[in-house]
Amino acid sequence: MNKLSIGNIKFRNNIFLAPMAGITDLPLRLLAKEGGAGLVYTEMVSAKALVYHDESTKSLLKIKDQERPVAAQIFGGEASSMREAAKIVQDIGADILDINLGCPVRKVAKAGAGAKLLANERLVAKILETVVCSVQIPVTIKIRVGLLQGKNIAKEIINIAQNVGVKMVAVHARPASLGHSGKPDLNAFAESCIDAKIPIIANGGIVDEKTAQAFMKIPNCSGLMIGRGAIGNYSIFERLESFFSSGKILSKPSKTEKIQWLEKHVKYLIDNYGIKKGLGAFRKVAYYYVKDFPNASKIRFMINTMISLDDFNAILDNLYENYGFL
Ligand SMILES: Cc1cc2nc3c(=O)[nH]c(=O)nc-3n(C[C@H](O)[C@H](O)[C@H](O)COP(=O)(O)O)c2cc1C
């Protein structure tokens, strides 16, 4: 795996954390960075909300130097608001501006944005060209192999993107119609990469060396992007870096290490949001930390009902006591 650089940004490795709304906030991005991620992405934010100076939207783009390089992701269906939002993202200090062309959720589709845009190549070209011309930071996109299974359009979108100066494309190897479930379509991904002249990053179902290597074997696949497989499992970035640089397979995190990541995550959430909101925010990701633990549903229930730092410390003591030796 040759280390990528785009513009004057050099990545530590080509194994990136996927953007995930409601999940990849600053605390989680810092953890992914500590686990060795070469690049982290903010959650997607609405271009229009940014342009209207919505403060809660802006707060989603809070960036810290320790997490650099960081890409900020925006979505929108109009060239003019995307241009203005791109400038705001640049002023905020993001290293890369990423455009979401893959999200199938209703709210985003209603704005004519995300995966919906993939059906309109002319508008994609207009938006991408407008945004690339309006900022100095590199512009990247994240797309799907297609909207419907068997109807792949990623190759055409990549062609449009590289012609207007987009620097890198992440391809989620599931069609938008499948949402985030189902098997990634490696053949569709391979087809999308064939004529690519810019780096193409593979995404979808990467959870270990085997699933990572299946993508990396594909010609023109330059790197990997990991979503759910990285939550509570941040050393996956270091493990894959080691695997691709030396062939060495490092051991998976023990339960003790998972509890240590959990403890750190809650600490970062409290530092960022305060105790009440921080503890509440952890509920969104608790499943990923404890899913392999015996009594996972009981632990999750305790996490979902904790309301004070004392509650959390009691859960933590319980976890170390019962599983800390595994
Ligand atoms: C809860 C959740 C939120 C997501 N939010 C975003 C988002 O804001 N922007 C985006 O481009 N993709 C988003 N995605 C898609 C992920 O970036 C990724 O493409 C998807 O999870 C597949 O990768 P994985 O199989 O490694 O999880 C989201 C996925 C999940 C599960």
Pocket flag, ligand 1, residue 142 (CB < 6 Å): yes
Q: Rounded mean pLDDT of 302-316?
A: 96
Catalytic residue, chosen from 103, 133, 193, 221, is 103
Pocket flag, ligand 1, residue 204 (CB < 6 Å): yes
pLDDT digits (tens, 9 = 90+) for 209-230: 999 999 999 999 999 999 999 9
Q: Which of 47, 55, 45, 123 is nearest to 87 (CA)?
A: 47
Atom of ligand 1 nearest to the CA of 98: 11
Q: Give ranges for CATH 1.10.1200 in the chain.
A: 255-323
Question: Whole-prediction pTM value?
Answer: 0.97
Side chain identity at residue 44, one-letter code = M
Atom of ligand 1 nearest to the CA of 207: 26
CA of 187 relative to ligand 1 center, distance in Å: 20
Euclidean distance between CA atoms 242 and 256, whole angstroms: 22
Q: Rounded mean pLDDT of 116-128?
A: 97
Confidence of residue 295 (pLDDT cuts 50, 70, 90): very high
The answer to whether 147 and 101 have CB atoms below 8 angstroms apart is no
> At a CB cut-off of 8 Å and minimum separation 6, what does 314 contact?
none
Q: Give ranges for CATH 3.20.20.70 in the chain.
A: 5-246
For domain 255-323, is the CATH number 1.10.287?
Answer: no
Pocket flag, ligand 1, residue 324 (CB < 6 Å): no
For residue 4, the model assigns a pLDDT of 96
- What does the buried/exposed string (b/e) look like for 193-214 if buried means 16 or more CB atoms within 10 Å of the residue's CB? beebebbbbbbbbbeebebbeb
Is the pLDDT confidence value at 324 over 90? no
Is the pLDDT confidence value at 2 over 90? no
For the record, the structure tokens of 240 come out as 């894959």
CB 56: neighbour CB atoms within 10 A?
A: 8
Pocket flag, ligand 1, residue 103 (CB < 6 Å): yes
The 3-state DSSP composition of the chain as helix, strand, coil percent (nearest 5) reads: 50, 15, 35
Active site residue 103: yes
323 versus 31: the higher-pLDDT residue is 31
Q: Which CATH number fits domain 5-246: 3.30.420.40, 3.30.360.10, 3.30.1490.190, 3.20.20.70?
A: 3.20.20.70
Q: Rounded mean pLDDT of 283-309?
A: 95
Pocket flag, ligand 1, residue 235 (CB < 6 Å): no
Which residue owns the Cα nearest ligand 1 atom 6? Answer: 20
Q: Provide the strand spans (E) within 85-138.
A: 96-101
For residue 326, the model assigns a pLDDT of 63
Pocket flag, ligand 1, residue 45 (CB < 6 Å): no
CA of 77 relative to ligand 1 center, distance in Å: 19
Confidence of residue 325 (pLDDT cuts 50, 70, 90): confident
CA of 108 relative to ligand 1 center, distance in Å: 13
Euclidean distance between CA atoms 2 and 112, whole angstroms: 36
